[in-house]
Each structure stands twice: as C-alpha cells, then as structure tokens.
Amino acid sequence: MGGDAAVVRGARICYQSTARTANADEKLIRRLISATPKHNTVFEHAVFRFGVKCPLFVARQWMRHRICTFNEKSLRYCIADREYYVPADRDAGRETYVAHMEASFDLYEELLSQGWPKEQARSVLGLGVYTEFIWTVNAWSLMNWIEKRVDRHAQAEHRAYAKVILDIYTNVMPITARAFREVIVAR
C-alpha cells in the first residue's frame, strides 16, 4: 500500500519540493536511506500485508519483531491440520522424525475424540507444525526484518522466507528496495 510514491510524498512534504528531473525521486530515496542520522519515518508511509504459512518455530522468531501487527490462526478455536515441516536436507533419522510427528497427530486427534478441549490437546504437537498468520508491516520495519533475517546468522528456514519477501519487496518498491539492497543488505 503506497509503494515508492508514498515515501516520496512523505519526504517532499518536509521540503515542500517537487521532482525537477526524471530521476530526482530515485536520488531522493537513495539519499534518505543512506543519510545519518536516518530520516526513517518517510518509509513508514508504505505498508505491506502478507499472508504467511510457516512452521511454529519460524513464527515464534518472526513475532519477536514488534513494530508490525499479527493475527494468527488459533488452535484454541480451530483443529490443527496434519501438516508439519520436514527438513529436506536430513536423511538420517528422517523416518523416525516423520513417525514421531504422525504419532503426535494421532494422539492429538485421540484426545479430541475423548472430549479434550482443543486448547489443551494442542500441547502434544511439536514446533514443526505449520501455522498461518497475517502480517501488516510498514516498509521501514520490513527492511529491519529483512536485514536481520537474510543475515547468515539467522536460521536457514527463516532466511528462506526473508529471501522470498525481499524479492516481493523489490517488485513492489523497486527504487527503495534497490537502494536498500545496495546500502544496507550488501554492507
């Protein structure tokens, strides 16, 4: 919502200026993103909303990011789908892992059939179970998330989401994303 144009509008109202050349807006955005101290609030006028499906352990890390809004599928009110993450790069122990996940779902469904409330029966499910949430985040906070989660220190599974979202970001806000990639991600 808003894109590069919203950033430019936010900045130009400060200076009461207009673009005089074809690439003036691009230069302005590049200056804003490189400036120290940063004129960061102009990037908050562009807003994204994502629908995310990921393992619970990725969601837990994701929700450590506070400057944004989440709403998540509730396993108090909904029955968990039998869907869980299986690491593609692991062979040894894979069968045991899958058997364990299947057994946990068997137990979960058994407890539900015995009248356990969903909110208690879910305790037997593991962190690899998929969850879904809606994430609304402004472009400044999104860049903070991308910077931290594409970093090599971030968990690979989380990094995979960050890389995809960086591509989406680049398609939607090409000017800001290009400056962000060159000035911040490449650092």
Ligand X SMILES: Cc1cc2nc3c(=O)[nH]c(=O)nc-3n(C[C@H](O)[C@H](O)[C@H](O)COP(=O)(O)OP(=O)(O)OC[C@H]3O[C@@H](n4cnc5c(N)ncnc54)[C@H](O)[C@@H]3O)c2cc1C
Catalytic residues: 149
CB nearer to ligand X: give 65 or 181. 65
Point out the residue whose Cβ comes nearest to ligand X. Answer: 66
- CA 9/CA 166 separation, integer angstroms: 23
- CB closer to ligand X out of 20 and 64: 64
Nearer to ligand X, 67 or 99 (CB): 67
Q: How far is the CB of 127 from ligand X (least distance, A)?
A: 14
Residues 177 and 169: beta-carbon distance below 8 Å: yes
**Crossing angle of helices 156-172 and 139-149, rounded to 10°:** 140
**Are 13 and 45 in contact, with CB atoms under 8 Å apart?**
no
d(CA 28, CA 106): 58
Chain residues binding ligand X by CB under 6 A are: 64-67, 141, 144, 148, 153-154
Least separation in angstroms between residue 162's CB and ligand X is 10
Give min distance, CB of 173 to ligand X, in A.
18
